[in-house]
């Protein structure tokens, strides 16, 4: 990653920084970062740094909330059998737990139902609804799903079984004919914040239900015992951690740190959390969520729900051990499938594709999204990973940079059996006879695309001597970090590197020992290993973290990008060769390179492997595209340094 991809954020005026620092009693360093986030006056900055109950919105502003509360109270006090119909991911499981615990406070007869990813699928399933009704359900409450379930909801309502939908997903043009629909972006609603997760929506229902619709003036008037579940759901679903989400998640994380549920205590112990290590948003994202999500990916997510609802430490320990074993199995499956998918993606057939469609057989459906994300990280291309199961290819796609993968793939919607998603992620199913057609259409329509990495926003540059545990602790005031409130990123210009170590079974991680007892680590970047083999003149973009080891806390830089040095004599020579090849391509666009590669390499006096690498670099930089062996210039392509190409960085490192 080259510094040309670094975006140094504008620095606020000295007046703003001084005012924030003086009135809020924070350092000028902190004041700078707060102001960069748009909080330039003391009042808005204080609200940002000190989430309070006044920042929460009235749940009665949600459409149909009054009908919902009345119906839930009638069902609870009337002894009706209520089924809470959830979802198998973390947000769905926590939403279910929130609604179940809130209804149990009223003494309701409530039963949770977590659909199975493979047999039920996502959202209301008509066959499952029929079974639930046959088993005596008198009221169905959906959480984290429902707005796309017209058929199942219509059936239940026709049988005299009311359905209350609570959801946050994209709404179809026509909503189901349910008894009530609670959604923060309902077109007839008045709710001022639209980015609640499923757990957030469930909590707002619980808040209104347990306060009988009355406004709250103090945090103690809220069902605070549910806030830990809200934090888990909202962080894992990557909703915006701004507005009231920031309040709910902040309080939820505090609750986990002060009084964690037995299930969370057991999960965190298995995850290796140290006694002096606080639970922050990163802990949820990398230690809790992957484990609880693994259960729903491979089997029945009801086990995760049981873990969260349990109040018995011994039972929780036993369930957490099951969860840990399932997560280990998930990791093994991911590595196996990733290995196969990576081999295909790097093959001759796919190496020139701008958008990858990788298809295998009998790959586990529950982990294809993870594999797609890993391939995107490795190859820096939008990637769709499919697996043939029961006669249909099903899978997930993840985008790269700011490319709208959903819009692009929606162009071919006539080829799919099912299709859905958003700009950065999607899911689809396609019959085998249509797969080759899809691949060809994707290749044809993506050949001239220029897909760029998102710029890395750098708050400011720091020297190693300015980094300390005190700096990190001050930055924790900005927590919780996540979507809409990203962790600050700092640039370090050519720090002195005393030692380089590789880590991991595949040597895919690096650790650098810097001056001032500061260490820097980079995870899952095998492409960085050759770059640091001769670590002279490297610059980094990094976030700050803490390493907890044997009761000690040491500051740690978490690398997000490495800049390779330019302008050495050798690099200048390389540039000359690349310019020579580019000129040749420009003059021979009617020549089939695939059929004449040996002759072209001989004419240019370079070896065939180097010629292939140079063409791949030009493709990555958007200078050329390749069709049926012909290499053609993309007219009007923006000028970019060679070092912005990952392939070029590897080429330099291995010379």
One CATH from 2.40.50.460, 3.90.1170.10, 3.40.50.1100, 3.30.1360.200 for 6-49+456-563: 2.40.50.460
565 within 8 A of 535, measured Cβ to Cβ: no
Q: Does the pTM of the predicted model rise above 0.85? A: no
Nearest to 197 by CA among 164, 229, 220: 229
Nearest to 372 by CA among 364, 363, 382, 362: 382
Residue 650: pLDDT above 70? no
- CATH class, domain 347-447, is alpha beta
Judged by average pLDDT, the poorest of 176-185, 248-257, 561-570, 594-603 is 561-570
3-state secondary structure of 115: coil
Kindly state the greatest CA–CA separation across the chain.
88
Report, at the CATH architecture level, how domain 569-653 is classified.
Orthogonal Bundle (1.10)
> pLDDT confidence of 1, banded at 50, 70, 90?
very low
Pairing, β 497-503 against β 6-8? unpaired
What mean pLDDT value characterizes the chain? 91
pLDDT of residue 573: 62
> pLDDT confidence of 13, banded at 50, 70, 90?
very high
**Residue 73 to residue 535: CA distance in whole angstroms:** 66
> pLDDT confidence of 213, banded at 50, 70, 90?
confident
Alpha helices, H only, 380-430? 405-410
Nearest to 538 by CA among 652, 377, 460, 380: 652
397's tokens = 């796609």
pLDDT of residue 651: 66
Q: What is the mean pLDDT of residues 37-57?
A: 96
pLDDT tens by residue, 379-391: 889 999 999 988 9
**Residue 485 to residue 240: CA distance in whole angstroms:** 8
> Would the CA dihedral through 85, 288, 425, 478 be positive or negative?
positive
| 29 backbone dihedrals φ, ψ, rounded to 5° | -60, -50
Residue 653: pLDDT above 70? no
pLDDT of residue 115: 96
pLDDT of residue 261: 97
**Residue 533 to residue 179: CA distance in whole angstroms:** 64
Residue 376: pLDDT above 70? yes
Residue with structure tokens 């984290």?
144
Within 10 A of 64 (CB to CB), how many other CB atoms are there? 20
Q: What is the mean pLDDT of residues 550-573?
A: 73
Burial class (CB in 10 A: 0-12, 13-18, 19+), 413: exposed
For residue 543, what are the β-bridge partners?
Answer: 558
Q: What is the mean pLDDT of residues 175-183?
A: 97
> pLDDT confidence of 571, banded at 50, 70, 90?
low
Question: For the chain, what are the domain ranges?
Answer: 6-49+456-563, 59-224, 347-447, 569-653
pLDDT of residue 570: 45
pLDDT of residue 392: 95
106 within 8 A of 209, measured Cβ to Cβ: yes
Q: What does the radius of gyration of the chain's CA atoms come to, in whole angstroms? A: 27
pLDDT of residue 590: 84
Residue 521: pLDDT above 60? yes
> Please, what is the Cα angle at 319 between 338 and 232, to 5 degrees?
70
> pLDDT confidence of 15, banded at 50, 70, 90?
very high
Cis peptide before 480 (omega within 30 of 0): yes
CA distances from 478 to 247, 250, 369, 593 (A): 12, 10, 30, 54
Residue 69: pLDDT above 90? yes
pLDDT tens by residue, 401-441: 989 999 999 999 999 998 887 788 888 999 999 999 999 99
Nearest to 557 by CA among 519, 507, 612, 601: 519
Within 10 A of 654 (CB to CB), how many other CB atoms are there? 9
Q: What is the mean pLDDT of residues 15-22?
A: 96
**Residue 380 to residue 354: CA distance in whole angstroms:** 9
3-state secondary structure of 429: strand
Report, at the CATH architecture level, how domain 59-224 is classified.
Alpha-Beta Complex (3.90)
């Amino acid at each position: 990653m080259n510094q040309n991809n670094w975006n140094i954020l504008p620095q606020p005026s000295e007046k703003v920084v001084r005012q924030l620092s003086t009135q809020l009693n924070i350092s000028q360093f902190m004041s700078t970062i707060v102001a960069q986030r748009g909080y330039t006056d003391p009042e808005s900055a204080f609200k940002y740094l000190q989430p309070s109950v006044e920042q929460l919105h009235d749940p009665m502003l949600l459409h149909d909330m009054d009908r919902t509360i009345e119906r839930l109270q009638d069902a609870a006090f009337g002894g009706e059998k209520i089924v809470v119909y959830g979802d198998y991911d973390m947000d769905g499981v926590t939403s279910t737990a929130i609604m179940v615990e809130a209804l149990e406070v009223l003494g309701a007869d409530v039963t949770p139902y977590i659909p199975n990813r493979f047999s039920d699928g996502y959202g209301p399933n008509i066959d499952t609804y029929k079974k639930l009704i046959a088993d005596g359900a008198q009221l169905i409450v959906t959480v984290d799903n429902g707005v796309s379930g017209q058929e199942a909801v219509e059936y239940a309502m026709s049988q005299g079984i009311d359905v209350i939908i609570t959801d946050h997903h994209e709404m179809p043009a026509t909503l189901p004919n349910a008894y009530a629909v609670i959604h923060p972006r309902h077109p007839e609603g008045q709710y001022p914040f639209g980015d609640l997760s499923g757990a957030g929506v469930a909590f707002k229902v619980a808040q209104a239900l347990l306060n009988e619709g009355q406004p709250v003036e103090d945090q103690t008037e809220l069902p605070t015992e549910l806030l830990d579940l809200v934090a888990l759901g909202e962080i894992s679903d990557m909703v915006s951690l701004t507005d009231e989400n920031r309040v709910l998640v902040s309080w939820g994380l505090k609750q986990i740190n002060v009084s964690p549920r037995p299930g969370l205590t057991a999960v965190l112990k298995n995850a290796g959390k140290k006694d002096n290590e606080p639970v922050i948003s990163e802990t949820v994202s990398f230690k809790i969520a992957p484990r609880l999500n693994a259960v729903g990916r491979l089997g029945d997510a009801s086990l995760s729900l049981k873990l969260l609802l349990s109040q018995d430490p011994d039972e929780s320990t036993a369930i957490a051990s099951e969860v840990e074993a399932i997560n280990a199995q998930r990791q093994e499956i991911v590595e196996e499938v990733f290995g196969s998918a990576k081999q295909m993606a790097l093959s001759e057939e796919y190496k020139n594709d701008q958008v990858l469609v990788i298809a295998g057989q009998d790959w586990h459906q529950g982990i294809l999204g993870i594999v797609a994300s890993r391939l995107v990280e490795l190859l820096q291309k939008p990637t769709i990973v499919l697996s043939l199961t029961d006669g249909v290819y099903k899978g997930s796609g993840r985008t790269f940079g700011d490319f709208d993968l959903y819009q692009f793939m929606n162009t071919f919607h006539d080829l799919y059996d099912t299709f859905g998603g958003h700009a950065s992620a999607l899911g689809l199913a396609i019959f085998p006879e249509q797969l080759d057609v899809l691949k060809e259409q994707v290749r044809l329509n993506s050949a001239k695309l220029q897909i760029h990495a998102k710029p890395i926003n750098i708050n400011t540059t720091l020297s190693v001597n300015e980094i300390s545990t005190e700096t990190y602790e001050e930055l924790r005031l900005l927590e919780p970090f996540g979507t809409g409130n990203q962790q600050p990123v700092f640039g370090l210009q050519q720090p002195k590197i005393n030692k380089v170590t590789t880590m991991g079974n595949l040597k895919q991680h690096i650790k650098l020992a810097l001056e001032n007892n500061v260490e820097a680590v980079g995870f899952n970047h095998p492409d960085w290993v050759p770059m640091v083999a001769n670590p002279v003149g490297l610059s980094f973009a990094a976030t700050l973290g803490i390493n907890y080891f044997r009761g000690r806390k040491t500051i740690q830089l978490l690398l997000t990008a490495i800049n390779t040095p330019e302008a050495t004599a050798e690099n200048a020579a390389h540039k000359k060769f690349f310019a020579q090849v580019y000129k040749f391509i420009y003059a021979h666009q009617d020549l089939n390179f695939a059929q004449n590669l040996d002759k072209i390499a001989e004419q240019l006096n370079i070896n065939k492997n180097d010629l292939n690498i140079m063409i791949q670099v030009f493709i990555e930089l958007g200078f050329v595209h390749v069709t049926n062996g012909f290499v053609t210039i993309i007219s009007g392509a923006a000028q970019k340094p060679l070092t912005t190409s990952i392939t070029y960085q590897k080429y330099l490192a291995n010379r």
